[in-house]
Structure 1
Amino acid sequence: MRSTRHRTTRTVLTATAALTLVLSASLVASAATAKAPDAVAAPDTGPASSASDTSAAAAALTWSDEFDGPAGAAPNPANWNLETGAGGWGNNELQNYTSSRQNSALDGNGNLVITARQDGNGGYTSARMTTKGKVQPQYGHLEARIKIPRGQGIWPAFWMLGGQFPGTPWPNSGEIDIMENIGREPHLVHGTLHGPGYSGGNPITGQYQHPQGWSFADDFHTFAIDWSPNSITWLVDGNAYQTFTTANTGSNPWVFNQPFFFILNVAVGGNWPGYPDGTTQFPQQMVVDYVRVYDSTGGGGGGSTGTVTASNGICLDVAGAGTANGTPIQLAHCNGGQAQQWTVGSDGTVRALGKCLDVAGGGTAAGTAVQLWECNGTGAQQWARTSGTQALRNPQSGRCLQPVGRVQNDGTRTEIANCDGSAVQRWTLP
């Protein structure tokens, strides 16, 4: 039985992280252009599942952080918050999480390095990074390529919390542990769900053993989930090892049909892993090659593709067929071009040219411009069809899509405005 790993941990949020709740990824530059997918170099990983690889390759890459940048640079603040503090994090952990480059930095070779250190007084420092309020996917193929640290009492993890945390407290907010390892089990990784009625020492969980029984710390491995409504499958190096569905929660709620944010951290000590001993060496490093989100359906979580037309028959259009973040969305005479082909997804997104219809800056005020932006899972990119009025409503702001000045002419840009049921807010979807 695992210990009650996640109690106070899931209720602690620093002021810095809390401030990010009001931000959209649209406020800042997106992640670096994705590298070509790396092959797992280790000969010890065993054959990857060709079906899984083919699925990921066919899916659209909707977001990634490839950790490109100079050695010693901070993780991209467009994507990551650094949570700080000590106090055990609800699990009697020993480390103090810091924002220092000594604990989290790029290595100049396309990797993020999270380093757990022991200081001269016998204390420990490390880093805990989240994408809260910045990157919050819902569904898809989510993966990271990681070389984990090793040693008794060392606890690396790649995991997720529900985007409504802490407003919705843990465990009702939900938690998806994509990969956890505790140092005393070098050949095992764990995949787990926590939710109401199945949390702490009684989660829904399973584990994967290295095919050769070797340590996962010896080389890079790819840890992933395939996440769809009411089902999550865990994979290591392309090998699926468990699937949990709504049937596994029994009479308890399934709380995983909502956006979640990523967390990367290395803890030192705690109820579950135990504590460092004379065999544990410091510093210990978790090296992360990339974190990626693929739309596993190839089309925004399902849905249909075609033109989106205004009530006068004119088309919703990406200005100049541009693909840069921030490209305006406008009305234009329908021409059959790709800039007017929109996929309305079951995940709430509306996509064209591989990117999402987005409220600029995550704004909620009437008159905020609507643009094209890299898909990031935030509320700025969620749209709901309003029955009756045929409006496209952004739930985060509570406002509806319309042309600026309420003029339905070729070249008119778009914005969000108070929903009023008028014809200029009526859209015909594919």
Structure 2
Amino acid sequence: MRSDPLTRRLPRTALTLLLAAVLAAALLTAAGAGAPRAAAVPDPAPAAAAVQTWADEFDGPAGSAPDPARWTVETGGSGNGNNELQYYTNSRANAALDGNGNLTITARRNTDTSLRCWYGSCQYTSARLNTARTFTQAYGRFEARIKIPRGQGIWPAFWMLGNDLGSVGWPNSGEIDVMENIGREPGTVHGTLHGPGYSGAEGIGAGYTLPGGQAFADGFHTFTVNWSPNSITWYVDGNAYQTRTPADLGGDRWVFDHPFFLVLNLAVGGNWPGSPDGSTSFPQTMTIDHVRVSTSDGGPVPASGPIRGIGGMCVDVAGGATADGTPIQLHDCTGNVAQQWSLPGDGTVRALGKCLDVSGGSTADGAVVQLWTCNGTNAQKWVHTAARDLTNTGSGKCLDAKDNSSADGTRLQTWTCTGGANQKWTVG
């Protein structure tokens, strides 16, 4: 791959405009584009054993827009730092249901002279969709059944980004590329991990090539990852072709320990695939039959989402700040990133890339609860009980809304567990 890995991936507006749906651009490189690295192995996570947590089957009338309760449609023609040529629109000409249970994302030659791209008047339009506002999950099975387009300079992708992108930046947020294809490799797709120290051209991944000279654009194929706390396995049509673990990172940090959101896009041009040429015809369409997310083994999904307490108020990082020592409070639920928490299974409770922390590791009633860099201490270890207590294991005390208040801005503290309403919390 010959792209600039960081500028290509990091959006110029970062996640503050994520809520306006302008996110980091799709993808990067993958290491190796040859034959599968491993023999075909049956997928060990049969659907019957899994618990489905999210799905879109794309049922609806022909020409209707993607479901806004599931997807945000992004717009813009910045090139995403990778010199991509398309302008992403919210037009149904570029993203719409086909009436046959599919979503179509279509790249077209542009006829709207008012659209401006980084290089001038835009040559192409296309679409990119994400679930950053509506759905995130840590761990499980993530799959999409897709018929990709074809042609030099055409670049379809199904991938995921960490929900802490806006606070820690890319690549620290992590990226899991479930599938990407560049048109000059019609029979090969790539699966890749990106994180700190292994981003861009240093991404950890592999390619999967269909046998017998087949092309992925000739039919539908199912692209899957099974993601657990310490491994991620990629599949094409149920055939496992690579597994990655922390041991593959050469000592670099494994950042796949928190919720990610989904991205579907179809790019045109860019440093890696190159530009379309005389052999490339338009329009080109990426057809998605379904996207499904589940647990990988039928077990519980690590909790993520808002934490609601007394009066239905949400646990909130004051001001959305990421500085160590930022107070934690109650706030009207807004759905913004300052209210998106994850319990990744290691005892921590995380938001904005940092941990819920008892100031100074105090065991006293009334100890301040704050945001702090994750450090593995007992001041940052919590248990969410069946009784809905959120108990700090370092002190044996409960997360508590001060003075039994549900007012906007009420500070949170730890206090001897009483069973009161101001100590009851619902996650997700």
TM-score (norm 1): 0.68
State the SS of the aligned residue for 1:184. coil
Alpha-carbon spacing, 1:226–1:422, altered in 2? closer, same or farther (3 Å): same
2:390 match: 393
2:83 match: 92
Letter in 2 for 1:278: G
Map 1:404-415 to 2 at 5 A.
none
Alpha carbons 2:383, 2:390 under 8 Å: kept: no
2:275 match: 275
Map 1:49-64 to 2 at 5 A.
51-52=42-43, 55-64=46-55
State the SS of the aligned residue for 2:213. coil
Alpha-carbon spacing, 1:274–1:75, altered in 2? closer, same or farther (3 Å): same
- Cα distance in structure 1, aligned partners of 2:313 and 2:283: 39
- Cα distance in structure 1, aligned partners of 2:110 and 2:384: 63
1:422 match: 417
Alpha carbons 1:363, 1:380 under 8 Å: kept: no
Letter in 2 for 1:72: G
2:227 match: 227
1:193 match: 193
Q: Deviations over 1:23-60 (max 9, x none)?
A: xxxxxxxxxxxxxxxxxxxxxxxxx9784165333111
State the SS of the aligned residue for 2:242. strand
Alpha-carbon spacing, 1:204–1:50, altered in 2? closer, same or farther (3 Å): closer
Alpha carbons 1:359, 1:380 under 8 Å: kept: no
Shift of 1:134: 1.6
1:348 match: 303
Shift of 1:15: 6.7
Map 1:204-353 to 2 at 5 A.
204-301=204-301, 347-348=302-303
- Cα distance in structure 2, aligned partners of 1:388 and 1:89: 40
2:321 match: none
Alpha-carbon spacing, 1:288–1:358, altered in 2? closer, same or farther (3 Å): farther
2:314 match: 363
1:175 match: 175
2:25 match: none
Alpha-carbon spacing, 1:419–1:80, altered in 2? closer, same or farther (3 Å): farther
Shift of 1:2: 5.1
Shift of 1:208: 0.1
Q: Structure 1 unaligned runs (5+)?
A: 22-47, 302-346, 350-355, 371-377, 407-415
State the SS of the aligned residue for 1:166. helix
How many residue pairs get aligned? The number is 329
Alpha carbons 1:164, 1:173 under 8 Å: kept: yes
Alpha-carbon spacing, 1:87–1:53, altered in 2? closer, same or farther (3 Å): same
Shift of 1:357: 9.8
- Cα distance in structure 1, aligned partners of 2:400 and 2:41: 42
Q: Deviations over 1:105-159 (max 9, x none)?
A: 1111111111100024671000111111321111011100001111000000001
1:25 match: none
- Cα distance in structure 2, aligned partners of 1:147 and 1:179: 12
2:159 match: 159
- Cα distance in structure 1, aligned partners of 2:186 and 2:5: 19
Alpha-carbon spacing, 1:257–1:281, altered in 2? closer, same or farther (3 Å): same
2:352 match: none
2:72 match: 81
2:372 match: none
Letter in 1 for 2:212: Q
Shift of 1:288: 0.7
Alpha carbons 2:153, 2:268 under 8 Å: kept: yes
Shift of 1:17: 3.2
- Cα distance in structure 2, aligned partners of 1:70 and 1:275: 34
1:17 match: 18
- Cα distance in structure 1, aligned partners of 2:283 and 2:214: 21
Alpha carbons 2:306, 2:314 under 8 Å: kept: no
Alpha-carbon spacing, 1:178–1:417, altered in 2? closer, same or farther (3 Å): same
State the SS of the aligned residue for 1:212. helix
Alpha carbons 2:399, 2:412 under 8 Å: kept: yes
How large is the RMSD of aligned CA atoms in angstroms? 3.5
- Cα distance in structure 1, aligned partners of 2:255 and 2:83: 27
Alpha-carbon spacing, 1:298–1:278, altered in 2? closer, same or farther (3 Å): same
Letter in 2 for 1:421: T
State the SS of the aligned residue for 2:48. helix
State the SS of the aligned residue for 1:52. coil
1:4 equivalent to 2:4? Answer yes
- Cα distance in structure 2, aligned partners of 1:50 and 1:247: 22
Q: Deviations over 1:151-181 (max 9, x none)?
A: 0000000011111012211111111110000
Letter in 1 for 2:290: Y
- Cα distance in structure 2, aligned partners of 1:14 and 1:195: 17
Alpha-carbon spacing, 1:206–1:274, altered in 2? closer, same or farther (3 Å): same
Shift of 1:266: 0.4
TM-score (norm 2): 0.68
Q: Deviations over 1:294-342 (max 9, x none)?
A: 11131214xxxxxxxxxxxxxxxxxxxxxxxxxxxxxxxxxxxxxxxxx
Task: Among all aligned residue pairs of Structure 1 and Structure 2, give the percentage whose two residues are the same amino acid.
Answer: 51
1:109 equivalent to 2:100? Answer yes
- Cα distance in structure 1, aligned partners of 2:208 and 2:288: 20
